[in-house]
Structure 1
Amino acid sequence: MMNSYSDSPLSGNHRYRDSHRTDFYKKLTAAANLLLYVWLIVSFLELPVYDFNVIRRWVAQTIVALPMIFLAISTYGYACSFVDKLFSEERFPKAGLYFQIAAYFYMIIFAAIAVFSILKIAFHSGIS
């Protein structure tokens, strides 16, 4: 017996659920980005000076490094949903998939560089 939430491709419900998952994911990453960017701006404005060493010591704190990593990952997640919409099959029927793959490739590289940079600063905080 199959219910209305069946995974059968014939029922058509899997598309409905997948679109709601992606909508929820977009809303979640948008809310996370909003909170994390507000936190970043407020905490950055509270710094006494904007010297390289002061900012490096500030990022090296665990209470700052973790939200910065979450910010990089959340921004990457939101950008993925933007790329899905930007390079959709309707706009680019033949090359849309290739544009998506190229954009994902560059976003993964930049997200990895951001996370690596934050971790490098956080783990080398004792070096002046």
Structure 2
Amino acid sequence: MCKLFIEADPRLWQTRLKSVRLNGFSTSVRLENLYWQVLDEIAQRDGMSLPQLLAKLHEELVFAHGEVENFASFLRVCCGRYLALQLEGDVPRDLSTPIRSLDADAILAREARRSGRGRSLSSVA
């Protein structure tokens, strides 16, 4: 079992630091290369650059929840959810379908039903 993970390309878990402007301030985000690849795919789906996606996610996160405690962790969870939602069929694997075109409320409702909670983790604070 472990061989499948251990013998993967080690570049996937190497970290890379990227500089980005969030709320008018320059900052850096350190993530593993695998996460940068997934975030780049998400950005491309909606015709954005990676820095544009990061700025938009940060802006909307601050608007919805106030201060951002750990943006890198939030981004990792975004990547995991994106991949999980693709496996569930809620996010099409066809990369020509923009994320912004999807019905987020319907997807969140289906996700909550699958988890048996009636609401998603994102609504628990």
TM-score normalised by structure 1 residue count: 0.22
More contact order relative to length (CA 8 Å, sep ≥ 6) = 1
TM-score normalised by structure 2 residue count: 0.23
Name which one, 1 or 2, has greater alpha-carbon Rg.
Answer: 1
